[in-house]
Structure 1
Amino acid sequence: MGFQPIVPFGGMAGWAFLQRTRAAQAAAHEATPAISRDTAYFAEKIGSIDSAADLVGDYRLLKVALGAFGLDDDLPNKAFIRQVLEGGSIAPDSLANRMVDKRYLAMTKAFGFDLGTPRTRLSDFADEILSSYRGRQFEIAVGEQNPDMRLAMSLPRDLGTIVESDNTADGRWFAVMGNEPLRKVFETALGLPSSLAILDIDRQLGVFRERAAAVFGSGEVSQFADPDRLEDLNRLFLMRAQIADGGASMSPGAVALTLLQSI
C-alpha cells in the first residue's frame, strides 16, 4: 500500500496541521512507487511526442498529461482528447476555446500541438507538467482522507484562474457556478443549499452575488484576488463544512462559537 496522507482533524485545525506538514507529506507521496514510475516514464518519453495522436496513443503518457490538469476521468476518452488537442488554442472557435471547462484549454495551450514546434520539445516542459501532476495527485490522496481539505487545497489555483481571466463580472460568477468544486466551496461558505442549482441561472447569479456581498462586503468574484479575502473564504468554508459534518454532535454554543470565529 502506498503512502496515505494524514489529516487527523476537520475544519481549521485539520487545515493548520496539513499546512505544517504539507511539504513532508507531499514528498512522501511523490516517492511512492506508482508516482515515481509514472513521472520517470513521462520525463523520459515526452520529448519524443510531436502530435496529439502520439500522446493519446501512449496510455502512460496520457495518464500523466490528463492528471496534470485534473482531467483524470477523461483517460478512456482518447478520441475526444485528441480532438481537443488537435484543434489547438489559437483559433477563437477551436473546441478548447469554446468549452466552458477551461482545464481543456489550459492543457491544449501547455502542449501546443497547433504550433510549429510543440512545447513538448522544450527542455523544461516535462518538469512543468510533472510539477502539476504531483501536486494534483497529492490533492486526490488528501481528498480520499478528507474531501473538504482537497477543495481547500485546490481553491487558490482554481479560483485564481477565474479571477485572472478577462471575463466579465457576470462571466466570472458563471465560471464559479459551472465548476463543481468551486461551487461547493461557495455554497458551503455562503450557507447556500445545493438545491439552488434548480433555479434559473440568472436567479442563481443574483443569489450568489447578494449573499457574497452580505458576507464579504462585495458581491464580485474579483475581490478574491486579495490573498486575505481568499483566506477568509477558505476559513469560512472549512468551518461551515466542519459544522455540517459534525453539527449533530456539537452543542448549540459550540456551533455558535465556531461561526463567530469564522466571520
Structure 2
Amino acid sequence: MSFQPILPLSGYSGWAFLNRTLESQKENFAASRQVQSDVDYFRENISNVRSATDLVGDYRLLKVALGAFGLDDDIGNKFFVQKVLSEGTSSGESFSNKLADKRYFAFSQAFGLGDGEVTRTALPGFSDSCISAYQERQFEMAVGEQNENFRLALDTRRELAEIASGDLSENGMWYSVMGSPPLRTVFETAFNLPSSFSSLNIDDQLEVFRDKASREFGEDSIRQFSEPEQREKLIRTFLLRKDLNESLGAMTSNNIALMIISSANNYR
C-alpha cells in the first residue's frame, strides 16, 4: 500500500501528534489510488453477491469484505471463510458462534449469507457501511506497519466504543473484549498481566479483568468505556506501560550483554 502515515514520534507524544493530524491523514489515505480502486470495485459489484460462494469466489470483493472486519489474514483461507459465511449466525451451533474471535460472528452476521438468513449485500447503505469500515481498518493497518502500539490504540478506540455501547450483559461485554485479540492485548498490557494469564480458566480471567478495571479506572464495568475520556485513559495507560516494559526489556538485554563482555574480559 503506497500511503505512508506521518508518525515522526513514538510513545505517548507520538500518539498525541497522530491525534492532531488524524482527520487529514485519513482523508489522504482514503484518496490514495489503491484504496480508491478497492472501494470503487466493491461498491459496483457487491450487490451481485447472493451466496457465500459468490463472495469467496471474487478476490477483490472478499479483500474488502474481510478487511472491513480486520480479517485480512484470512484472504487465502477460502474454505474457512466460506464455512463462516454459509453457516450464518442464527444457530447456536453455527461455526462463527463457536469461534473465540467474535469478529467472525460479526462478519457473517453483517452479510447474511447463511441458509435461511436475509442476504444484506443489496440493501441500501450496505456497501457504504462496509467501505467505511474497510477504510478505517486499513488506515489502522497502515499505521501499524510503522507503530503497532498506535494501531492497537486506534483499534481500541473504535472497537471498545461499540462494545461498551451495546446491549450485551456486563459479563457478555467483558467476554467480547477477551475474545478480541487487539483489545485483549491492550487490557492485559494496561493491567500489567503476565503472558501466562490467558492460560487461566475463562471465568477466573473475567474476575481478574473486572478487579483490575475497578482498581485502575474506578469501576469494574465495561460500560464506563462508552465515555471517550475513559477510553483515552485506558489507551494512555496502555501506551505508557508498553513503553516502560520495552524500556525495561532493552535495559535487561543491555545488562546481559555487559555481563557477557565482562565475563569474557575476565578470562583474557
Whether the TM-score (by the shorter chain) exceeds 0.5 is yes
Match of 2:217 in 1: 216
Match of 1:90 in 2: 90
Match of 2:193 in 1: 192
Letter in 2 for 1:34: Q
**1:6 and 1:145 in contact (8 A); partners too:** no
Q: 3-state SS of the aligned residue for 1:121? A: coil
Match of 1:51 in 2: 51
TM-score for both structures, normalised by structure 2:
0.83
Alpha carbons of structure 1 residues 233 and 73: separation in structure 2 relative to 1, 3 Å:
same
Measured in 1, the distance between the counterparts of 2:188 and 2:180 equals: 12
Alpha carbons of structure 1 residues 201 and 104: separation in structure 2 relative to 1, 3 Å:
closer
Deviation per residue, 1:187-228 (Å, 9 max, x gap) = 221222223223343333333222222111222323222322
Deviation per residue, 1:105-142 (Å, 9 max, x gap) = 22222212246752211232221111111110010000
TM-score for both structures, normalised by structure 1:
0.85
Letter in 1 for 2:95: L
- Identity, % of aligned pairs? 49
Measured in 1, the distance between the counterparts of 2:118 and 2:195 equals: 45
Deviation per residue, 1:169-203 (Å, 9 max, x gap) = 33433332332211111122122222322334333
Letter in 2 for 1:218: E
Matched ranges for 1:119-134 at <5 A: 119-134=120-135
Match of 1:9 in 2: 9
Deviates most, 47-56 or 118-127: 118-127
Matched length:
250
Deviation per residue, 1:28-80 (Å, 9 max, x gap) = 22233322221121112112111111110111111111001111111112122
Larger-gyration structure (1/2): 2
**2:88 and 2:117 in contact (8 A); partners too:** no
Match of 1:136 in 2: 137
Q: 3-state SS of the aligned residue for 2:224? A: helix
Letter in 1 for 2:102: K
Alpha carbons of structure 1 residues 75 and 226: separation in structure 2 relative to 1, 3 Å:
same
Measured in 1, the distance between the counterparts of 2:139 and 2:44 equals: 22
Deviates most, 116-125 or 57-66: 116-125
Gaps of 5+ in 1: 251-263
**2:101 and 2:181 in contact (8 A); partners too:** no
- 1:37 matches 2:30: no
Measured in 1, the distance between the counterparts of 2:5 and 2:172 equals: 36
Gaps of 5+ in 2: 252-268
**1:196 and 1:204 in contact (8 A); partners too:** yes
**1:213 and 1:219 in contact (8 A); partners too:** yes
- Cα distance, 1:249 vs structure 2: 8.3
Q: 3-state SS of the aligned residue for 2:21? A: helix
Measured in 1, the distance between the counterparts of 2:91 and 2:249 equals: 53
Alpha-carbon RMSD = 2.3
